[in-house]
Amino acid sequence: MTSRISDTNPIGVDAVQAFDGLILKQIPFKESSKILHVYTAEGMKSVLVHGAKKFGSPYLSSSENLNLVKFQATGRDLLTLTDADLIEVYPRIKADLERFTYAQHLAELLHGFGEAEYDHAKFFAFTLKILAKFETEADYQVYAFIFELKFLFLLGVAPAFTACAACGKKDELTFRVRSGGLSCPDHLEGPAVTDAAFRWMRRLYQIDLKDPVVERPDEAATVEIRRVIDDWYAYHLNFRSKSRSVLSGLLGY
């Protein structure tokens, strides 16, 4: 689906930048404009869109969160939109409150850590694959788990899934958030995760999206995995999204 929008208000003599970007957040600017926080293959960019809030403006719909847009913009730190093609709006995600809130949770994660140093080109492509799964799969929550677990690796705080996080021992191990993952009897900190939840998390962490996820964790494991991932981000990164708080009311956990 392609819908063309343009801004006829060029500025300065800066070269035009062209890039695809996923809108993560929008901030009102003056009376009728918006600043978009956009995740791209180069990391985060900020784009000023003149007239985005004017009645009847094409920007009212095209500059919404979770739109994938082909931007052309000028400027440096704060870019100014000159032209754009709307690539994808993810209608199924936006038509389902729970699905949309979950996607917003992932968007908040990206926004919160989009300035970190990691392979943005690779993860941008991966993010679009995850959103495609959200758009097409009935049971999409497992793809949120995959996204969040793999993101931990890029952020340098991935769980230890093969040996004790503290000493490297491989015997008598249990998985604990505060211990950094697997831990031996000499390095236990915090409550243990069930074996079923641990095995599913390790499997989802290692999975390649090229392979179909045929099996799914049962309800008890799903609830526990959700809690463990939440606790991991809170303990190791001091992060909890606003959307996750809303989601707990929708999901019941």
Domains of the chain, with CATH numbers? Answer: 3-88 (2.40.50.140), 91-251 (1.20.1440.120)
The reported pLDDT for the residue numbered 220 is: 98
Give strand pairing partners of 184.
none
| Predicted pLDDT at 88 | 97
To 10 degrees, what angle do helices 97-113 and 120-136 make? 170
CA–CA distance, 130 with 140 (Å, rounded to integer): 9
User: How far is it, in rounded angstroms, from Cα 85 to Cα 41?
Assistant: 17
The residues, any chain, with a CB within 8 Å of residue 161's CB and separated by 6 or more, are: 181, 182, 201, 202, 205, 206
Neighbours of 93 (CB within 10 A): 19
95: Cβ–Cβ under 8 A, 6 or more apart, which residues? none
DSSP-derived letter for residue 15 is P
Q: Which residues in the chain come in under a pLDDT of 50?
A: 1-6, 8-12
Beta bridge partners of 43: 40
pLDDT of 2 reads 45
Angle, in degrees to the nearest 10, between helices 97-113 and 242-251: 160
The strand pairing partners of 176, in sequence order, are: 181, 192
**75 pairs with which residues across the strands?**
79
Local structure of residue 89 (DSSP, 8 states) = -
* Contact call for residues 135 and 97 (beta carbons, < 8 A): no
Q: If we measure between CA atoms, which residue out of 109, 71, 106, 75 comes closest to residue 87?
A: 71
- How far is it between the farthest Cα atoms of the chain? 66
Backbone angle region of 172, left / alpha / beta, with phi > 0 → left and psi within -120 to 50 → alpha? left
Residues β-bridged to residue 88: 68
> Tens digits of per-residue pLDDT, 95-117?
999 999 999 999 999 999 999 99
Alpha helices for 32-155 (secondary structure H): 59-62, 91-95, 97-113, 120-136, 141-154
